[in-house]
Amino acid sequence: MSAFLKITLVRGLSGRTDHQRKVVKGLGLTKMHRAVLRKNTPEIRGMVEKVKFLLQVEETGEAK
């Protein structure tokens, strides 16, 4: 299992529920096509799973 996840918002939040918007904001994503690095923890994985249709997720070995 890799140490970090590179998470990119690839679909917009227009028409999404308030809960989905809060999950995306909780991941630290603010605008489309911006990426964030997050530690690969069960909590982050659960958040990604809730809105996986809006995201692109890549496993990376280390933070840059």
The 10s digit of each residue's pLDDT in 1-10 is: 679 999 999 9
The CATH number covering residue 13 comes to 3.30.1390.20
Full residue range of the structural domain in which residue 34 is found = 4-60
Each residue of 41-51: pLDDT tens digit? 999 999 999 99
Please state whether the predicted TM-score (pTM) of the whole model is above 0.85: yes
Look at residue 64 and tell me whether its pLDDT is greater than 80: no
Output the six-digit token pair for 57. 């997720």
pLDDT number for residue 61: 83
What's the structural domain count of the chain? 1
